[in-house]
Structure 1
Amino acid sequence: MHRQHTVGFAIRSMSNLMRRKMFELAPPPDGATEMGGQIMGFLCDHPERELYQRDVEEIFCIRRSTASRFLRDLEGGGLLRRESVESDARLKRLVPTQKARDVHENYKCKTQEMEAILTDGLTREEIDQFLAVSGKIRKNLSR
């Protein structure tokens, strides 16, 4: 079997193309990497939730040290505040700043543009099938 005909190769090459295209559409803001921008976006999209570092680790499937580095960079760039929680002094709630919310508004438009590019020519059934298959692959990788 040729390497180009494997699931892993297909996923990796699509990921690289997506990353490149998204950077063309909207480069990450100052103080954020691509992943930092995704984390910031998630925090901005869920203002009603109290989110903590462990949530970021779980949602993005990253290690504690990796999450800590991204959050530290966002905080240093003025995109994130960590607020103490009264019930547990060890916990720090992650709160996006106004600067982050402003940047995120621009990103939302670019993300919709990216989704349109990704799904161009696909039927709803094909999209649903892709999401189901990719969900199974993600589950396999989580074992």
Structure 2
Amino acid sequence: MDGKQCAGSVLGLANLIKRVFDTTTGHCGTQIRILNFVLVSYPDREIYQKDIEEELNIRSASVSTLLKKMEAQDFIRRKKVSYDDRLKKILPTSHTVEMKEQVERHIALLEKRLTAGIKEEELRIFSDVLKKMQENMELTERGNRCG
């Protein structure tokens, strides 16, 4: 498989996963990923927009737009912190906290369907390869061309 086929396969799979997840949950898959990150972290850790950007590898402008939509939909609320007027904590609403188990079930079901019939060793190798590909793309994005 050459690089073009590999990239096309990864992009195609990502699009398919997104469509299935959006249809299954009735919500944007990226919003669900953000909700899951906030819910898993809450109340043990304070979450800020920058944390979401880094954890989910999403650009600042995209996260900002998604958070505005999620706030309007009563999925999250943003609360200013006392020590920095520019900084806002991302908090789940009571409605979202009630959805936590449902969100976790949707994610678990997607993972189960996605990995059905794949051996543990194959998944480990696949995970290692994906990690390396992500590192390659991060290097490329930063302008450090390799190979």
Given the two structures, how large is their TM-score scaled by the length of structure 2?
A: 0.85
Match of 1:24 in 2: 23
The alpha-carbon distance between structure 1 residues 2 and 141, as it changes in their structure 2 partners (threshold 3 A), is: closer
How many angstroms does 1:104 deviate by?
3.1
How many angstroms does 1:21 deviate by?
2.0
The alpha-carbon distance between structure 1 residues 25 and 72, as it changes in their structure 2 partners (threshold 3 A), is: same
Listed as ranges, the gaps of 5+ residues in structure 2 are 140-147
Instruction: Describe how 1:1-143 pairs up with structure 2 within 5 A.
Output: 6-28=5-27, 33-47=28-42, 48-143=44-139
Percent identity, aligned pairs only? 28
> Pairwise CA RMSD of aligned residues?
1.8
* Structure showing greater relative contact order (alpha-carbon pairs closer than 8 Å, 6 or more residues apart): 1
1:47-73, CA deviations, whole angstroms, 9 ceiling, x for partnerless residues? 111111111111222222111100111
1:26-81, CA deviations, whole angstroms, 9 ceiling, x for partnerless residues? 211xxxx3312211121011111111111111122222211110011111111111
CA distance in structure 1 between the partners assigned to 2:23 and 2:88 by the alignment: 34
Q: What's the secondary structure of 2:99's corresponding residue?
A: helix
CA distance in structure 1 between the partners assigned to 2:99 and 2:8 by the alignment: 33
Kept in 1, the 8 Å contact 2:21–2:29? The answer is: no
CA distance in structure 2 between the partners assigned to 1:85 and 1:2 by the alignment: 49
Q: What's the secondary structure of 1:92's corresponding residue?
A: strand
1:8-40, CA deviations, whole angstroms, 9 ceiling, x for partnerless residues? 011011112212222332211xxxx33122111
Given the two structures, how large is their TM-score scaled by the length of structure 1?
A: 0.87
CA distance in structure 2 between the partners assigned to 1:57 and 1:17 by the alignment: 22
CA distance in structure 2 between the partners assigned to 1:112 and 1:62 by the alignment: 22
Instruction: State the aligned residue count.
Output: 138
CA distance in structure 2 between the partners assigned to 1:35 and 1:16 by the alignment: 12
Mean CA deviation greater in 98-107 or 49-58: 98-107
Q: What's the secondary structure of 1:6's corresponding residue?
A: helix
How many angstroms does 1:7 deviate by?
0.9
